[in-house]
Amino acid sequence: MKIAIILGTRPEIIKMSPIIRECVRRGLDYYILHTGQHYSFEMDRVFFKELELPAARYNLDVGSGTHGRQTATMLSGIEKILLDDTPDVVLVQGDTNTVLAGALAASKLHIKVGHVEAGLRSFDRTMPEETNRVIADHISDYLFVPTETSRRYLLDEGIPDERIFVTGNTIVDAVYQNREIAKEKVDVLGRLDLSDGGYFLATAHRAENVDDPVRLGGILEGFRLVYEEFGMPVVFPAHPRTVKMISEFGLDVPLGTLMVEPMGYLEFLQLEGGAKLVLSDSGGLQEEACILGVGCLTLRDNTERPETVDVGANVLVGCDSLRIIEGVRKMIGVRGDWVNPYGDGKVAEGILNIIK
Ligand code: UD1
Ligand code: UDP
């Protein structure tokens, strides 16, 4: 059996890393096809390097572009590779344009598709990710869902039960595998002169937030209010899209917000684990904060990770500065003793057992 692992962005590399490691450990016949959706060193190669992942056999180098152009370039490139180096199963992870292109190319060639992190729904079709998820789920043969909630969503959409497998989320494996390594290899608090529990960690990159001056401005104003009231810095490793938009809109990074380059996974995981709270519109951060026992404020009006809200690890605050500061007041004393709903850290093993 030959497996093709298709990935293209930062979170896909991180969440596929446990599956790649398990393929290596079992000596499976597999290859990595990188679309090149992310390409800057700190969004891409840093993760291959730090996580000691084997290089991709193919890289399409598609780069950035409009949705149609980017997805179409990937689709035609992936199809060519799948015809030349045909796998029995293609694995995709998450909800990016890479996932849509990978699942569609494979499905049209009648190659089995396994969707890792299937069944997430924000029920907000204005998000490009929601379109990608829905389409990928409906053309996949194996739907590896993190929780029973996702299984129910898929059943409601008419997807047959025999295609759905509740496995947990590989992010738990990634966190467990790397947080000990991080302790030995990096000291991000020392590098940034921070104390454990003495800062907030923030990220933002969602198109609907950072491409809108009012929403992005609201987020930055929220950070200002948080620093003003609590006197602890807001560490802000900024996605390149966000850096570009802050400059395009002429916004100011407020006093107390430490905007830094995106980080490698080891440093970032350490920073997340030591944060007082996490403020973010990221999908992966909602899960990781929950796993690490750190409270999270989600800078969005909806979430496809309702489990984190249900266990008390996460609140939705949108992009209004007053709601952000209210959310921080509410979450600041949170104890972090909830049960992680996303699995036991052996999720990748479970997924490969099912495919076998
Ligand atoms: C993409 C995904 C999003 C995911 C995010 C993870 C889609 C539709 N979006 O969003 O779901 O949460 O990745 O981070 O697939 N850029 C760089 N260097 C890079 C990559 C991007 O400078 O390596 C800049 C470019 O200006 C680019 C912009 O970021 O135009 C947006 O990149 P893109 O891949 O289109 O979307 P993301 O916002 O990264
Ligand atoms: N991450 C990282 N360095 C950073 C910011 C994030 O390693 O500077 C990791 C983070 O730990 C998580 C993933 O990137 O595993 C989340 O990616 P992102 O927020 O870009 O995408 P999303 O999860 O929203 O799709």
pLDDT at 301: 98
Ligand number nearest to the C-alpha of 204 = 2
Q: Quick one: angle between helices 321-331 and 213-230, nearest 10? A: 40
Residue 204: other Cβ atoms inside 10 A? 25
Q: Which residues contact 176 (CB under 8 A, 6 or more apart)?
A: 345
Residues that are catalytic = 205
Calpha distance 113→104 (Å, rounded): 9
**CA 84 to ligand 1 center in whole angstroms:** 28
For residue 282, report the distance from its CA to the centre of ligand 2, in Å.
7
Note if the pTM is more than 0.95: yes
Q: What is the pLDDT along the chain (356 residues), one digit of tens a residue?
A: 999 999 999 999 999 999 999 999 999 999 999 999 999 999 999 999 999 999 999 999 999 999 999 999 999 999 999 999 999 999 999 999 999 999 999 999 999 999 999 999 999 999 999 999 999 999 999 999 999 999 999 999 999 999 999 999 999 999 999 999 999 999 999 999 999 999 999 999 999 999 999 999 999 999 999 999 999 999 999 999 999 999 999 999 999 999 999 999 999 999 999 999 999 999 999 999 999 999 999 999 999 999 999 999 999 999 999 999 999 999 999 999 999 999 999 999 999 999 98
State the closest ligand 1 atom to the C-alpha of 42, by its place in the atom list counted from 1. Answer: 23
Helix axes 170-185, 10-26, angle to 10 degrees: 90
Cβ 283 under 6 angstroms from ligand 2? yes
Question: In the chain, where are the structural domains located?
Answer: 2-166, 186-331
The reply to whether domains 2-166 and 186-331 share a CATH topology is yes
Task: Kindly report the CATH number that applies to the domain delimited by 2-166.
Answer: 3.40.50.2000
Q: What is the reported pLDDT for 333?
A: 94
Q: Which CATH superfamily is domain 186-331 in?
A: Glycogen Phosphorylase B; (3.40.50.2000)
Does the Cβ of 243 fall within 6 Å of ligand 1? no
Q: Which ligand is nearest to the CA of 235?
A: 2
